Chains A and B, each alone.
Chain A
Amino acid sequence: MGDGHHKDRPPSGLADQPGDTIGSAEDSGPEPVLRVPEDLTPLPAVDAAMPLLEHFATVVGRKRARFKIALLKTLQGDGAGRWKIRRLQEVVHWLEASSVTDIVAELKTVDVLSYEQITGFYRLTPSARVVTALLDAMTIPEVHPRSLIKFLNKAMALAQAGGAADDVVLRQFQSAIAVLQGDWDDLTRLLDDHSDSALLEAAELVRIHVDDMRELLDEHQTFFAAHRDRGDFLDADQKALDLVAKLGTMSAEVIQAVSGRADERMKAGLRVDRTDIRDFLASREADDLAALVAGLAAPTPFVVAIAPAVAFGALAEASERVASTPPTMPPPIVLTRQPPESILDPAEVMRDELFELDEPTTVVELTVRETWEESIARHSTLLDAYSRWTELPNLTHEPDCEELEESEVWRVSKTTIEMGA
């Protein structure tokens, strides 16, 4: 296998058409390499069908494709089987006559339209009629998932009508089975989703597919019966029947359940017990559970709850407390008046001391005592006395000072006190 198996000739049609938009995309890449002999691939069947398939490419894959398809659709709807150019221009009334002529010439070149030289008539070739019919059928915005199995059913019928190989029909049938298998996967996956609408929508689609598959099996009953000897046909047939059975049941139950038309058996299963609550709680996240009481569970207005008994006890204790009061006033009594204590005026005492001096005395002798405070007090009193009274002994000031040794006073100006004559 390693050396690969190349096609020894380029594929006809798509790849060798200049300006072909489909073929040009393939031409731009390297030549595909086969891993198995070509006989074991679908390529020989494709090659054999290429003359017919080319018609699709020549119509769809080239410039002005939309005009060509529209023109062919218009011709298909016209009852005549052949047209002269003037008639063609009348039938294709929505296009300028010169444009009709151009497009017709182009279609004639690629054998979609044949031209009879003698009569001057144009005809759709048999292949072109098939291509046109298919293109007409496919002129829809998109293939809706609802129609998928129905399309495949008709493709199987077309293949059989065209004389395609049995394997072609089997592959189309397997494609339809794959659609049902995908439906089963989607439906069971959506059971874990919380969206009822998505689940219901999927079940409705499944029901349509199941009905279409039943129709397919009915329409091709003869074909399948004719191939009972082939294991692959039997396997596919059995798988399709299994899927139809379980998807039919499942989609019906889902639709009944979700749309509220659950039967009694299902309703009976919806009674709640502690196990249900337990399983439900275990299957939910905290956010989902919180949503059940969001906006309903209001917090208390207090931070810490106080037990009423405790509160009343505290109230009773507070109620029994006696407020403190001031002591009672004593009874009134008559006060005894007492004369104020007599305090001697130091200046007068000093004056008396001065008058009692019988010999000359210095200020140091009169005032200085052992301590500084006492000495200063007596000295100040002396000055006070002399400032008050005039008839006191004379003071004689001398220039020098007296220095003392046994007192806290260091020295004092020398002044002598003596009585006058």
Chain B
Amino acid sequence: MLVAGTLDRTQWSELDDEDFAGEVRDRLATVGLELVGASGKWLARPEHAPTDDTDGFEPAFALNTVELAVIAALYLHLRYLPRNADGEENGEEPSVAVEELLRAFPGYSARFISQIVVGHLRNAGFVRRENDRLYAGPYLAALNEIEADERSQAALGNFQLRRYLKQRAAELEDDHASG
């Protein structure tokens, strides 16, 4: 079941038993998978993300650059922002409008992002779509949050810093031009 989909934690209390879960982990480990509990689900994922430069190995289902970029955008909206922004915690499950996601990829057609890429990621368990809103899927929740948050924080901090400095440079230009 774990290599064919995800399991609801409420329906699989056996996996909360350490002995049972340990045996499942051992069995999954023999095929390079690990057991992860995330977002109310049990799921199996590869212990190491396959890379393109693995000699002689061509993963049948690999995430391409655009899919990874969409995952990053979804992570920032659905996982990072609720934890790091004031006033974002309102008790509801974090979600983002499809239109909001499309803004991040102006160079791509809306159909490609919203149908093909998001559809692929939905099948892969990274995102859930209800009407025109996107919710975090179990595989998005299963990302290593410490590492992902550190990278996000560094990138966002750098972006904000430079935006702030550019704004200050413009202010200084204006001040001295008018003065």
Q: Do A and B come from one complex?
A: yes
Asked if A257 is an interface residue, CB under 8 A from chain B, the answer is: yes
The answer to whether B65 and A287 touch across the interface, beta carbons within 8 angstroms, is: yes
Asked if A188 meets B169 with Cβ closer than 8 Å, knowing A281-B73, A297-B126, A308-B11, the reply is yes
The answer to whether B164 and A297 touch across the interface, beta carbons within 8 angstroms, is: no
> Which residue from A191, A253, A257, A293 sits with its C-beta under 8 Å from B71?
A293
> In the assembly, what is the distance between CA of A305 and CA of B7, in Å?
11
A279 CB → nearest B CB, Å: 7
Compute the total of residue contacts between A and B using a CB distance below 8 Å. 185
Asked if A276 is an interface residue, CB under 8 A from chain B, the answer is: yes
> In the assembly, what is the distance between CA of A152 and CA of B141, in Å?
61
List the A residue with the shortest CB-CB distance to B63.
A299
Asked if A278 meets B65 with Cβ closer than 8 Å, knowing A289-B72, A308-B7, the reply is no
Find residues 30-89 in chain B having any chain A CB closer than 8 Å to their own CB: 31, 33, 43-46, 48-51, 59-63, 65-66, 68-69, 71-73, 75-77, 80-81, 84-86, 88
- Tell me which residues across on chain B come within 8 A of A290, comparing CB atoms: 65-66, 68-69, 72
Asked if A303 is an interface residue, CB under 8 A from chain B, the answer is: yes
Asked if A286 meets B66 with Cβ closer than 8 Å, knowing A278-B104, A281-B73, A293-B143, the reply is yes
> Which residue from B33, B81, B165 sits with its C-beta under 8 Å from A272?
B81
The answer to whether B166 and A188 touch across the interface, beta carbons within 8 angstroms, is: yes
Asked if A283 is an interface residue, CB under 8 A from chain B, the answer is: yes
The answer to whether B68 and A289 touch across the interface, beta carbons within 8 angstroms, is: yes
B42 CB → nearest A CB, Å: 10
Say which size band chain A's interface belongs to: 35 or more
Find residues 1-38 in chain B having any chain A CB closer than 8 Å to their own CB: 1, 3-8, 11, 31, 33
The answer to whether A254 and B62 touch across the interface, beta carbons within 8 angstroms, is: no
Asked if A292 meets B49 with Cβ closer than 8 Å, knowing A254-B165, A270-B161, the reply is no
> In the assembly, what is the distance between CA of A280 and CA of B7, in Å?
35
The answer to whether B4 and A277 touch across the interface, beta carbons within 8 angstroms, is: no
Say which size band chain B's interface belongs to: 35 or more
- Tell me which residues across on chain A come within 8 A of B86, comparing CB atoms: 271, 273
- Tell me which residues across on chain B come within 8 A of A297, comparing CB atoms: 49, 63, 68, 71, 126, 139, 143
- Tell me which residues across on chain B come within 8 A of A304, comparing CB atoms: 123
Find residues 296-311 in chain A having any chain B CB closer than 8 Å to their own CB: 296-308, 311
- Tell me which residues across on chain A come within 8 A of B44, comparing CB atoms: 301
B3 CB → nearest A CB, Å: 5
Asked if A294 is an interface residue, CB under 8 A from chain B, the answer is: yes
The answer to whether B5 and A311 touch across the interface, beta carbons within 8 angstroms, is: yes
- Tell me which residues across on chain B come within 8 A of A286, comparing CB atoms: 65-66, 69, 105, 107
- Tell me which residues across on chain A come within 8 A of B155, comparing CB atoms: 280, 284, 288, 292
The answer to whether B123 and A305 touch across the interface, beta carbons within 8 angstroms, is: yes
> In the assembly, what is the distance between CA of A280 and CA of B69, in Å?
13
The answer to whether B161 and A293 touch across the interface, beta carbons within 8 angstroms, is: no
> In the assembly, what is the distance between CA of A291 and CA of B161, in Å?
20
Asked if B147 is an interface residue, CB under 8 A from chain A, the answer is: yes
The answer to whether B72 and A292 touch across the interface, beta carbons within 8 angstroms, is: yes
> Which residue from B48, B51, B60, B77 sits with its C-beta under 8 Å from A303?
B60
The segment from A49-57, A61-69, A129-137, A244-252 that touches chain B is: A244-252
The 6 nearest A-B residue pairs measured at CB: A281-B104, A290-B68, A289-B69, A286-B69, A246-B172, A292-B72
Interface residues of B (CB under 8 A from A): 1, 3-8, 11, 31, 33, 43-46, 48-51, 59-63, 65-66, 68-69, 71-73, 75-77, 80-81, 84-86, 88, 100, 103-107, 123-126, 139, 143-144, 147-148, 151-152, 155-166, 168-169, 172-173, 175-176, 179
List 13 A-B residue pairs with CB atoms under 8 Å apart, sorted by A's residue number: A191-B166, A246-B173, A246-B176, A273-B81, A280-B155, A282-B103, A282-B104, A284-B155, A290-B68, A299-B46, A302-B5, A305-B6, A306-B5
